[in-house]
Amino acid sequence: MNKAVFLDRDGVINKIYIKDGLPFSPSSFKELEILPGVKESIILLKELNFICLLVTNQPDVSRGKIKMDEVVKMNNFIKNEIQLDEIFVCFHDDKDKCNCRKPQPGLLLEAAKKWNVDMTKSFMIGDRRKDIEAGLAAGCRTFFLDNNYKENPPNDSTFIVSSLLEATTFIKKKNI
């Protein structure tokens, strides 16, 4: 079986926009900006034999705030730019009560099945409580990337870091 790192998109891979202390996704391709250290992190994870899978909620599509083709354009750019293995997206809103929207583990479980992933050897890296809850529910260890949002942080993340590069360096150093 393979080991994987599941990555949230906004706030982990690309810059988010803060309004009143809360995070918001880029609203267009031209606002998309990959964060410093992300490319290096993916290279390092792949050297450590991790499959790198993006798992992202994008409810602004169902809310009518952004067109699906714009999100697909952003995701394709990210995938190619930083050499991700695959991207899994939930376009639903909370009211849809789907199994793929984090904090539900559906996206991670779908990706794990497709890529034959051993969840006990894998990680979820996210910047919100929903990401960490999804990772834990799927059975993997978690890194909470603390961006100091004005919302409740997770109570039970395995590790707390300030960047993706810090998380990947920790994984390498600890050989976990």
Burial 137-167 (b: 16+ CB within 10 A, else e): bbbbbbbbbeeebeeeebeebbbebebbbbb
Homologous superfamily (CATH) of 3-174 is HAD superfamily/HAD-like (3.40.50.1000)
The domain segmentation of the chain, as residue ranges, is 3-174
The whole-number average pLDDT for the span 106-134 is 97
pLDDT tens by residue, 106-117: 999 999 999 999
Q: Is the pLDDT of residue 1 over 80?
A: yes
Q: Record the pTM.
A: 0.96
Catalytic residue IDs: 8, 10
**Are the beta carbons of 60 and 25 closer than 8 angstroms?**
yes
Q: What is the 8-class DSSP label of residue 116?
A: T
CA distance 90 to 96: 11
